[in-house]
Amino acid sequence: MTDNIERRGFLKRSATLGLGAAAAGTLAAPAIAQSAPNIRWRLTSGFPNNLDTIYGGAVFAAERVKAMTGGKFEIQVFQAGEIVPGGQALDAVAGNTVEIAHTCGYYFTGKDPAFAIGSAIPFGLNSRLQNAWLYHAGGNEAYDDFLKDHGVMARPGGATGSQMGGWFRKEINSLQDLKGIKMRIAGVAGDVMSRLGVVPQQLPGGDIYPALERGTIDAAEWVGPYDDERLGFYQIAPYYYYPSFWEGGLTIHFFINPGEWEKLPEEYKAALDTAFHAANINMQALYDVKNTTAIRSLVGKGAQLRPLPRDVMDEAYKQAFALYEEYSQKSPAWAKIYPDWKKFREEGFEWFRVAEFSYDSYVFGAQAANQQ
């Protein structure tokens, strides 16, 4: 381990709480609370409300903001499709059809691959390092700087942790077995998979089960045990692979109309931003509890857990980083954000290998061996 930590200098990163100015400002104007305006926002979620945990992140934040402002600042949450389809959520925020959206940046890589780097890219940061990068290593600032050109700003507002690698009708024992497989997978992950011989398919959640059942597709990735169990894939595609190399730590964001944000009183900005932080940690904790239960239940129902073969992981890794170099050529935003992100990833992984990973590695192994 020692040898991996190189003896060289480091970039000193600024790590600001980002709220000092607001806090100081409110001290000088203690009367604002009395004149707190009634504000109503509409939020479009990128998710259907039956995905209760990920959809629930917006509900959680809205409930907190309402409670903190005595009902004066109310955010009404709509599921995907109620106001606009999920794919138009960012345009709706930029055009002020809604003030705010709660969705995944990587849904919008059709506009620019840089949309994905704030949320999740293959072989990217895990959940802890996503938060570290976004909150305190310049990630959110870099992402916001890019989003400005698309008329929105963003704040982290949810996390799933490492997801599962999807459901397959047949076992995958090597890279060769992936050739020609029709898999429901999209975005950057779909780009990587297509380089491995997979034929990526885009299907909404509700269409996956019938497509798998009819054999129109051979495999599908969705989220993790809790959300996957409800869609019943284990009944028709029993091989459940891990991990999702494309979503090692998904961050869900709140995307906000900057003009509407600026109009808010400082108290409401602070309430919103604090509620976003709370929604982020709350969703991760909720998924970690629900998935712990669901994985046991799925195995009890016959799901067959399988690790993705090593040659699949290795080839995907190689192709992913080749793809990122190509993105640097065609997306100026990617070219700007990616080098710092990559450096943070390298150094963050080095540190995590020392204490965090060696702790997990020991206790996970010891618990399995000793059954205590």
Q: Please state the closest distance from residue 113 (CB atom) to its own copies, in A.
A: 17
* Residue 203: exposure state from Cβ atoms within 10 A (0-12, 13-18, ≥19): middle
Contacting its own copies within 338-357 (CB under 8 A)? 342, 344-357
Task: Yes or no: say if 355 and 135 are a contact pair by the CB < 8 Å rule.
Answer: no
Residues 6+ apart with CB under 8 A from 269: 22, 261
Which of 258, 290, 311, 323 is in the footprint of its own copies by CB under 8 A? 290
Q: Which of residues 141-200 bind its own copies (CB under 8 A)?
A: 161-164
- Closest distance between its own copies and the C-beta of residue 38, in Å? 8
Task: Identify the bridge partners of residue 219 per DSSP, sorted by sequence position.
Answer: 168, 183
Question: Smallest gap, in angstroms, from Cβ of residue 301 to its own copies?
Answer: 9
For residue 156, the minimal CB distance to its own copies (Å) is 9
Provide the CA 290 distance to its chain's centre, in angstroms.
Answer: 17
Contact of 287 with 53, CB cutoff 8 Å: yes
| By the rule CB under 8 A, 280 interacts with its own copies | yes
Residue 265 CA from chain centroid, whole number: 29
b/e map of 115-141 (b: 16 or more CB within 10 Å)? bbbbbbbbebbbbebbbbbbbebbbbe
* 10 binds its own copies per the rule CB under 8 A: yes
- In the complex, least distance from residue 275 CB atom to its own copies, rounded to whole angstroms: 6
Residue 251 makes contact with its own copies by CB under 8 A? no
How many CB atoms are closer than 10 A to CB 252? 24
Cβ distance to its own copies smaller for residue 202 or 297: 297
Q: Which of 136, 183, 182, 185 is nearest to 156 (CA)?
A: 136
Of residues 294-323, those binding its own copies (CB under 8 A): 295-297, 299-300, 304-307, 313-314, 317, 321
Closest listed residue to residue 163, CA positions, set 55, 246, 56, 106: 246
Q: Which is nearer to its own copies, 127 or 201 (CB)?
A: 127
Binds its own copies by CB under 8 A, chosen from 110, 141, 215, 363:
363
Residue number with CB closer to its own copies (111 or 366): 366
| 58-117 positions binding its own copies, by CB under 8 A | 60, 63-64, 66-72
Q: Tell me the closest approach of the beta carbon of residue 85 to its own copies, in angstroms.
A: 28
214 binds its own copies (CB under 8 A): no
